[in-house]
Amino acid sequence: MSKVTFIGESGKRYSFEVQPMTTLFKEVGAIYFVTRRMLDESEKVVHKKIFVGETKNLARQTDIANNSHFKNYDANCVCIYLEENEKLRKKIESDLVGNYNPPCNS
């Protein structure tokens, strides 16, 4: 499993686990980032940021792979940051949205 670091508007760095869109998750609290993982012109792996959300039960997010908005952006990854504390999840989600302003968060 690979990792990717996203940076919040605050400058704080968050390390996410990278999973395929079709992953079935356990019942855990998490912040999740839907991305398009691809190679840039220098053959470096990059993630196009599409949507960031938070949930108290990641197993219920089964519609991620079938979401038409995400398909329009050719999403192929769900990046996961485990966090059980609801207040912290919401704070981290807001921090990331503030920095990246993903198109499906608009």
- The domains of the chain are located at 2-105
Residue 8 DSSP label: -
| CA pair distance 14, 22, nearest whole angstrom | 23
Burial of 11 (0-12, 13-18, 19+ CB in 10 A): exposed
- pTM assigned to the model: 0.92
pLDDT in tens, 93-102: 999 999 999 9
Q: Which of 4, 24, 2 is nearest to 16 (CA)?
A: 4
Number of Cβ within a 10 Å radius of residue 42:
6
List pLDDT tens digits, range 46-92: 999 999 999 999 988 767 777 888 889 999 999 999 999 999 999 99
State whether residue 93 is helix, strand or coil.
helix
